[in-house]
């Protein structure tokens, strides 16, 4: 009797594990909301923006300032990579400068994506950005990678590779 019970228990256990695995394979992954995305901001044109609008989408947050030499070096690449990847949402988060200087920077480098005025540094603080330039690369499942190199600009190839990996 004990042997028969052990076989039934083992069979039921294997069936339960198989059912869980089957559900995991069939169910689409759900996006996990990153608490850091619960921010609001204002675009450089004055429109409201909600970080939660990025949940479930591949996205790149680029933290920059107009006076940063590395940000100026990266800006043409960011513009080109953003234009080449319309399925990835790019959002610039500008700080530590005047709105006029931020707008000039956006115009100079043809940054045709949303750029936020984070004059008070609240969004930078939310992401623990110590200096610029910095990036947060979000995958559609909500997982992210933070990249911050204060000693050099990210190459266009590295940026392109990181963005391609999000889609």
Residues 44 and 1 in one domain: no
**Same structural domain for residues 103 and 45?**
yes
Q: How much is the pLDDT for 95?
A: 96
Is residue 9 domain-shared with residue 61, that is, in the same domain?
A: no
* Residue 51: count of CB within 10 angstroms of its CB: 22
Give me the number of domains the chain comprises: 2
CATH code, domain carrying 77: 3.40.30.10
Question: Which residues constitute the domain of residue 24?
Answer: 1-30
Residues 73 and 101 in one domain: yes
Element (H, E) at 161: helix 156-164
Do 2 and 78 lie in one domain? The reply is no
Token reading at 119: 């004059």
Cis peptide before 133 (omega within 30 of 0): yes
pLDDT at 124: 98
- pLDDT-derived band at 103, boundaries 50, 70, 90: very high
pLDDT band, very low/low/confident/very high, at 157 (cuts 50, 70, 90): very high
Q: Do 127 and 58 belong together in one domain?
A: yes
Mark whether 18 and 77 lie in a shared domain: no
Res 75: pLDDT: 98
* Domain co-membership, 46 together with 117: yes
User: What does the block give as tokens for 167?
Assistant: 């889609």
**Residue 27's pLDDT is what?**
38
135 and 62 Cβ atoms separated by less than 8 Å: yes
- How confident is the model over 30-49, as pLDDT tens digits? 445 689 999 999 999 999 99
């Amino acid at each position: 009797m004990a042997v028969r019970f052990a076989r039934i228990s083992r069979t039921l256990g294997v069936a339960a594990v198989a059912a869980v695995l089957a559900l995991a394979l069939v169910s689409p992954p759900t996006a996990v909301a990153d608490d850091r995305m619960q921010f609001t901001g204002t675009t450089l044109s004055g429109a409201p923006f909600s970080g939660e609008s990025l949940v479930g989408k591949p996205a790149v947050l680029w933290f920059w300032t107009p006076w940063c030499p590395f940000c100026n070096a990266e800006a043409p690449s960011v513009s080109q990579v953003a234009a080449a990847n319309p399925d990835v949402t790019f959002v610039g988060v500008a700080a530590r400068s005047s709105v006029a200087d931020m707008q000039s920077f956006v115009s100079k480098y043809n940054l045709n994506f949303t750029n936020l005025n984070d004059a008070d540094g609240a969004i930078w603080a939310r992401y623990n950005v110590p200096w610029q330039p910095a990036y947060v690369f979000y995958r559609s499942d909500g997982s992210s990678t933070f990249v911050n190199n204060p000693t050099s600009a990210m190459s266009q190839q590295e940026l392109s590779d990181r963005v391609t990996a999000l889609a």
